[in-house]
Amino acid sequence: MKKVIITLAMLGLIAACTKEVSDSNNPFDVDDPVDTTTVKLTPGTIQSLHKNVFVVKCANPTCHDGSFEPDFRTVQSTYSSLVYQPVTKNDDNGSYTYRVHPGKADESWLMRRLTADEVLGRMPLYANPLSTQEIDEIKYWINQGAKDMEGNPPDLPNLQPTVHGYQIQDTAEVRIDTNKVNGWASATILSPSTEYAMYFYIEDDNTATADLKNQKIEFSYDRDQWSPFYQITPVKIWDKVTRASFNTASFQQNTNVYFRYYVEDEQGAGTEMPEDGSEFWFKENYSIIVQ
Domains of the chain, each with CATH number or no CATH: 36-143 (no CATH), 162-290 (2.60.40)
Average pLDDT, whole number, for the chain? 82
pLDDT in tens, 176-231: 999 999 999 999 999 999 999 999 999 888 888 888 999 999 999 999 999 999 99
In this structure, which amino acid lies at residue 69? E
Rounded Cα gap, residues 225 and 231, in angstroms:
17
What confidence tens digit (pLDDT) does each residue in 161-186 have? 999 999 999 999 999 999 999 999 99
Distance CA(73)–CA(66), nearest Å, equals: 7
Which of 92-96, 117-121, 254-258 is least confident? 117-121
Q: Does pTM surpass 0.85?
A: no
Could you read off the pLDDT of 55-66 as tens digits, one per residue? 775 645 556 554
pLDDT in tens, 94-115: 888 899 999 999 999 999 988 8
How far apart CA 192 and CA 24 sit, in angstroms, is 74
d(Cα 147, Cα 154) in Å, to the nearest integer? 6
If you average pLDDT over residues 125-142, what whole number do you get? Answer: 86
Q: Is the pLDDT of residue 2 over 80?
A: no
